[in-house]
Every structure is written in C-alpha cells, then in structure tokens.
Amino acid sequence: MVTIERLDKTISKIMCISRSDARRLIKIGKVFVNGEKMKAFDTKISESDEIVVDGEKLSLEKNVYIVMNKAAGIVCDDKSSAPYAIETLPKELKRKDLFCVGRLDKDTTGLLLITNDGEFSHSVISPKKHIEKRYRATLQNPITENDIAKAKQGITLKDGTKLLPSEMFAVTADNKTVDFVIFEGKYHQIKRMAGALDNKILSLHRYQIGELVLPKDLDFGEAKKVEKEQAFLVFEKAKNWQKD
C-alpha cells in the first residue's frame, strides 16, 4: 500500500522539526518535490516522490531499522534526565517516529534495535516468541558447574519466578567472563539470575539477538541503518517452549 501524507507533516517527521518549522522551509522556497519548488503546505506526497530540503534528499522509507551499539549511560526511554538513545542518533538517521525495541539498562551496553515499525517491535519483545538473546557479562565470582546446571533446568529467582531453561558458559579461564543465552526478557533478568546464584554482574553487554549480530565496525554510541531482511534475522533461533 502506498502511504499518502501531507508535505509539511512528512518533513516534520523525517527531519525531527516542528510542523511550523517545516512550513517555514516550504514558504521560503527550500523544499522541492520531484524537482519542483513547493509552495503548498498540504501537498500530498508518497514514498515514490523525491523530496529535497535545502539541498538534502530525504528518505521516505515507510519502515526503517537501525542497529545501535548502545554505550553505558544511555537510556531507552525519554523519561530520564540521562541521554535518550534516539536523541544520540546521527542527524541522517533521526526521525520523529522512531523508538527503541525493548530496553537495555542504563549501564548495559551493546545491541539495541531502533525502528518505527510497531508490528516488528511487538513481535521482538513478545514473551510468546522466545527469541534468543546473547549477553557477555563480567561476574564478581566465578561460575560453577552447579550454576550451569541450574541455568539449563531454569533458574528460580529470589522472588520465586521460575525462568525458562537458559545457557551459561565461561569464556575466560577464571570463569568470571560468562556468556548468557536466554529466551525471554524479564526485567533485569540476567542481573537477577546472577543474584539467584549468589553472584553479581559487574558489566553486561548484549551482542546478539537471534541471528542478528552486533556489527564489529560499530563503536559504542554508534548506529547504522540496516535492511529489513537483516533486522528480521532476530526471529531466527526462537524456541517453541511447551507449557507445563
């Protein structure tokens, strides 16, 4: 389906400016659609049109998918005084309709998806999907074989919540750097898993969701747009758990 939208609304959304600022750009002759200078704010445009504002071509893609390597100190909602992930995006990626897919804690780094595709986001965070997520953690104490066995059985948190079976394995000789593979996304889940094992997370980094791996060329705080097919790799490796 082709989306039809007002010119001023489209410019406002894509450029992250107010509707009045978008109208001002149109009024002073800075906006061209398909090579023609625009004067009417309510001109109807679609994804097939080419919009150029002050010499810069705008992307009219309906749905966009962005991968960020979230830095520590960045948050995934705009209700905090800390920097909001969307606001830290480079200018060329910003749009007013973007939001984070799920959340990473303020001090957790790594793979964060950003999109304007609500259906995609809902599917990723749905507890029914059981999408695989991989994290690398630094622990205060070494993990033990008993810890690994408990994870495979499904750890019971201190509040009595029984988790789905998961995986833990050490990646360093001291058994303190550990990969966690989980298939659900409960609040502070990995930190609470460590707590249930009388341990503590010192640092936490997410590097993979499904088959989507955090690109190695992204430094902390950097982001880039990916194709839909790449974003949808998150749905690979999902598990179908039988209900008790």
Rounded Cα distance, 218 and 201, in Å: 24
What is the per-residue pLDDT for 1?
42
Find the catalytic residue in 77, 97, 105, 198: 105
Which tokens in the block code for residue 192? Answer: 């609470």
Rounded Cα distance, 66 and 82, in Å: 21
- 105 is known as an active-site residue: yes
CA 170 vs. chain centroid, Å, equals: 26
- Asked if pLDDT for residue 194 goes beyond 90, the answer is yes
pTM over 0.85: no
Mean pLDDT of the chain: 92
Asked if 22 and 11 touch (Cβ cutoff 8 Å), the reply is yes
Rounded Cα distance, 103 and 90, in Å: 20
Rounded Cα distance, 63 and 118, in Å: 9
Confidence class for position 238, pLDDT limits 50, 70, 90: confident
Q: Which domains does the chain have, with CATH numbers?
A: 5-57 (3.10.290.10), 65-127+211-235 (3.30.70.580), 133-209 (3.30.70.1560)
